[in-house]
Amino acid sequence: MGVDVADYDNDGWPDLAKTNFSDDANNLYHNDGSGEFTDEQGPSNFGPVSIPFLGFGLKFLDFDNDGWPDAFLANGHVNPQVDQHSFGVSYAERYLLFHNLHDGKFEEVGKEAGAPFQLDLVSRGAAVADFDNDGGLDLLVSHLGGPPSLLRNDSKRGHWIRIKTIGTRSNRDGYGARVEVTAGGLTQTGEVRANSSYLSASDRRIHFGLGQATEVDKIVIHWPSGTTDTILSQKADEDLVVREGTGVVARVPMGKVKKAGKIGRRRKRG
C-alpha cells in the first residue's frame, strides 16, 4: 500500500521501501548501483518488527536532522473482525518510527517518540512537511473514522537546509531534479517530488539534515533539462529558493532549531 524512495545509506543511489499486509514483513530494497536491488528488510531490522502490522502510509524523513533518513509508518487493518479472533493482529494499530543507525540498520523507536505513538488507530495516508517552519519535519496522518493527526516534531535535532526549486528550462516546480548536498564531510542526495506514501503528497521543498555542520560546502542540482547548477558555501538553518540557471534567488534564515521534547505531540481539537 505504501511506498517511498530515499538514499537511506548515503551511497548516492536511491533505495525503495514498501509496506505489506499483516503477517508479511515490509520490504527495504537497497539499490546496489548496478540496476539491481537487494531486499535488506531482515539485515536492516526494517522488516521483522512490522510483521503483525498492516502498513499504509510510509515516509522517509530525517526527524533528528543528523543527515541519515529515518522512516515513519502509519498502520491499520482493513477488517474490523480481526479483533474477534486470536490472530495476533488488531484492527487499530500504533505508528512505527525507524531511526537510522548509519550502518545500514534501523531501530524501531516509536514507543519512545511521544504520546501519539502510544495510540492504536486505523491509519492510512501519511505526509511530511515542516508546517511551522522551525527546521523540523512534521507529520500529517489520516485515519478511518476520525480526524487526521498533525504531529509536530519537537525532538532534539541538528542543523538543516531546505531547498525550493524553480525550473526555467525544466518544469516550473523542478520535479525530478536531483539535489546533492555536501556538508560536514557527508554528501546526501535527494529528488524533488511530492507524491509518495499512500494517497498522499508531501511538501515539495527538499529537506536535508546537517547534524553539527553549520555550513553547507556545496549544493549541486541536476535539472531534468540536463543543466546543472553548483552553489557553494551556504549557511545552515535556511530555506533557499533556487532558480534553474540562476542559483539562489531568495533565502529565509530560520535561526536555530528548537531542541526539546519528543517528535510527537498531538494537538487537541478546538
Identity of residue 47: G
pTM of the shown model = 0.90
d(CA 54, CA 2): 10
For the beta carbon of residue 187, count every other beta carbon within 10 angstroms: 17
Residue of 223, 238, 259, 86 whose CA lies nearest to 161: 238
Give the model confidence (pLDDT) of 167-198 as tens digits. Answer: 999 999 999 999 999 999 999 999 999 889 99
Residue 259 has pLDDT above 60, yes or no: no
Q: pLDDT band at 199, cuts 50/70/90?
A: very high
Residue 84 has pLDDT above 70, yes or no: yes
22 near 52, Cβ under 8 Å?
A: yes
Q: Quick one: cell of 183?
A: 556538508
256 near 237, Cβ under 8 Å?
A: yes
For the beta carbon of residue 253, count every other beta carbon within 10 angstroms: 9
Give the model confidence (pLDDT) of 2-14 as tens digits. Answer: 999 999 999 999 9
- Proportion of the chain above pLDDT 70, given as a percent: 94
pLDDT of the residue at 78: 95
Residue 58 has pLDDT above 80, yes or no: yes
d(CA 149, CA 131): 13
